[in-house]
């Protein structure tokens, strides 16, 4: 969808940023060089009157992004997970972005369900409500199945949302290329990589089959977690544009008064939220990466119910072990070991001074551990840690940035439920258990057994592979013998004489 409309969209974006006062905020957050500032103000200031006004009650950046529409709202939410790109202050502002938008008609949703699922909604659903929630990408309806009487939530994509997002994402790519062209010094922010990351996230959210799959995987991983529940998926009532799952009846985690009125133990809830998140990240390597109060409910029996699985985080097993050792080293104040883990994992280049790095880590850890227990934050620790590792040449690792951002959000949820929570006290048993199970002799034998299982799968092929290897070795030896023969002085002399004779004969013939 490349074309002049992308330039027009960027002009409208710049005008909105100028009109809402967000232009300076954004340029400062990105530490934009002078050339980029001039280009941005040129796109914005003369056309300021074309910009959207937005809600004056909101902070400038939030006001501009919400005024620009769904793609910009989602982009802002994704950027809030990248404080390494936009800075801590702007990332904090972007975390409060709300994507509540006017709903589209119920009849349109029913027609989407009819077309996507190839069913008659009136035959399948006994009830189908007006929208109960409307966001930037989809809206949710409450319904009841006619055959079983079960209550379900039906998520339906907005009409034309794919085309709208594609148009704006193309404009984002153009903006990223302009940044690379006009401000070479800003390439450190890797604007094209950021847009590609956003593009991938959006493509995942625009195909509800992927969210359905993520929900099912998350449910399978956490099935044995006491006091935690993921709504059941109805696969045969789900498709690319429609997702149907069990209706989650409960109190929003943000409604503290209602939680108190229901008699729930907020201390236990706060500790459980944190403990569950760490278990999911370390044990499973698959965690809810948008675990704010709006996506958590407290059921009548006290269970925590997770919702909205559009943004999930994944850590491979090696990264989990490294992350656990880093946390464990900080818990024990063993900064030398934390430094060694970074070097062993290749996070910090080998040419750096490990003792100097360990001293820098001590400067990160000691002030935090000197705080009152209720103010200690693993999210803040990871944030400071990334600042230090960047100074020592560690490249940005998107999966760890996402983990750090989610850790901050989860800590916020835990502290909203129980302000006196001791983060380290809750985290230590989880980290220690993971260390016991995954680092040491027990883990070594498990890794060896896993390696043997992989080799065993090749058992039937091993004789043929060995035979092929021997044949190739024999062929290579013959080739080497032939080459050595041709390189012998006698052979070289004979060949040279023959070539000389042929050339002289050809000359005489001519």
The residue extents of the domains of the chain are 4-100+168-204, 106-157+207-312, 315-449, 466-509
Q: Which residues contact 126 (CB under 8 A, 6 or more apart)?
A: 143, 144, 145, 146, 149
**How far, in Å, CA of 388 to CA of 491, rounded?**
65
Q: What is the CA radius of gyration of the chain?
A: 30
> How far apart, in whole angstroms, are the C-alpha atoms of residue 263 and residue 251?
12
Alpha helix locations (H) across 87-182?
88-95, 106-117, 121-124, 161-182
| Nearest Cα to Cα of residue 86 among 29, 25, 23 | 29
Residue 327 burial (CB count, 10 A): 24
Q: Could you tell me how many residues make up the chain?
A: 510
Please tell me the predicted confidence (pLDDT) of residue 250.
92
- pLDDT at site 105: 94
Q: What is the pLDDT of residue 247?
A: 95
Residue-level pLDDT at 296: 92
Domain 106-157+207-312 CATH class label? mainly alpha
Output the tens digit of pLDDT for each of the chain's 510 residues: 455 667 777 778 888 888 888 787 777 776 666 776 777 777 667 777 777 888 888 888 888 888 888 888 877 777 776 665 666 677 777 766 656 678 899 999 999 999 999 999 999 999 999 999 888 889 999 999 999 999 999 999 999 888 888 888 888 888 888 777 766 655 655 677 778 877 877 887 889 999 999 999 999 999 999 999 999 999 999 999 999 999 999 999 989 999 999 999 999 999 999 999 999 998 999 999 888 888 899 999 999 999 989 888 888 888 888 888 888 888 788 889 988 988 888 888 888 889 998 888 888 777 766 665 566 666 666 667 777 777 777 766 666 767 777 887 788 888 889 888 887 788 888 888 888 887 766 666 666 776 766 667 766 776 777 777 777 766 666 666 655 655 555 444 544 554 454 444 544 444
Active site (catalytic) residues:
290
Note the pLDDT of residue 307: 92
Measured CA to CA in angstroms, residue 174 lies from 113, 167, 441, 447, 467 at distances of 35, 11, 52, 46, 55
* pLDDT of amino acid 509: 43
């Amino acid at each position: 969808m490349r074309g002049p409309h992308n330039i027009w969209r960027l002009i409208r974006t710049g005008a909105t940023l100028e009109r809402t006062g967000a232009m300076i905020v954004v340029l400062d957050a990105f530490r934009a060089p002078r050339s980029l500032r001039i280009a941005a103000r040129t796109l914005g200031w003369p056309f300021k009157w074309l910009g959207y006004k937005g809600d004056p009650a909101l902070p400038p950046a939030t006001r501009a992004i919400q005024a620009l529409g769904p793609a910009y709202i989602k982009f802002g939410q994704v950027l809030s997970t990248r404080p390494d790109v936009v800075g801590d202050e702007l990332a904090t502002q972007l975390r409060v972005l709300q994507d509540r938008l006017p709903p589209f008609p119920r009849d349109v949703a029913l027609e989407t369900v009819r077309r996507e699922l190839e069913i008659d909604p009136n035959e399948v659903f006994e009830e189908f409500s007006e929208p109960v929630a409307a966001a930037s990408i989809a809206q949710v309806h409450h319904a009841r199945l006619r055959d079983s009487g079960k209550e379900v939530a039906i998520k339906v994509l907005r009409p034309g949302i794919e085309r709208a997002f594609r148009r704006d994402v193309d404009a984002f790519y153009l903006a990223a290329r302009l940044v690379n062209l006009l401000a070479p010094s800003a390439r450190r922010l890797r604007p094209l990589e950021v847009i590609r990351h956003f593009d991938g996230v959006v493509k995942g959210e625009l195909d509800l089959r992927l969210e359905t799959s993520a929900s099912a995987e998350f449910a399978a991983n956490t099935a044995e977690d006491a006091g935690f529940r993921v709504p059941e998926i109805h696969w045969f009532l789900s498709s690319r544009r429609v997702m149907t799952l069990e209706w989650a009846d409960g109190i929003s985690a943000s409604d503290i008064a209602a939680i108190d009125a229901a008699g729930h133990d907020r201390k236990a809830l706060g500790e459980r939220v944190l403990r569950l998140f760490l278990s999911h990240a370390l044990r499973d390597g698959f965690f809810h990466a948008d675990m704010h109060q709006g996506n958590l409910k407290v059921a009548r029996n006290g269970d925590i119910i997770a919702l909205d699985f559009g943004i999930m985080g994944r850590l491979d097993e090696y990264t989990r072990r490294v992350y656990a050792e880093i946390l464990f080293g900080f818990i024990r104040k063993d900064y030398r070991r934390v430094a060694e883990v970074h070097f062993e994992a290749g996070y910090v280049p080998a040419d750096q001074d490990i003792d100097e790095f360990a001293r820098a880590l001590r400067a990160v850890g000691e002030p935090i551990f000197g705080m009152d227990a209720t103010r200690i934050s693993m999210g803040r620790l990871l944030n400071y840690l990334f600042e230090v590792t960047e100074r020592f040449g560690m490249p940005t690792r998107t999966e760890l940035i996402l983990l750090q951002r989610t850790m901050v959000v989860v800590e916020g949820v835990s502290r909203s439920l129980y302000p006196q929570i001791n983060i380290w006290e809750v985290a230590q048993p989880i980290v220690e258990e993971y260390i016991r199970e995954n680092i040491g002799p027990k883990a070594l034998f498990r890794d060896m057994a896993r390696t043997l299982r992989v080799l065993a799968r090749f058992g039937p092929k091993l004789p043929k592979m060995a035979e092929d290897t021997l044949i190739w070795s024999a062929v290579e030896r013959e080739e080497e013998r032939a080459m050595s023969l041709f390189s012998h002085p006698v052979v070289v002399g004979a060949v040279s004489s023959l070539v000389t004779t042929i050339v002289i004969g050809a000359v005489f013939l001519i």
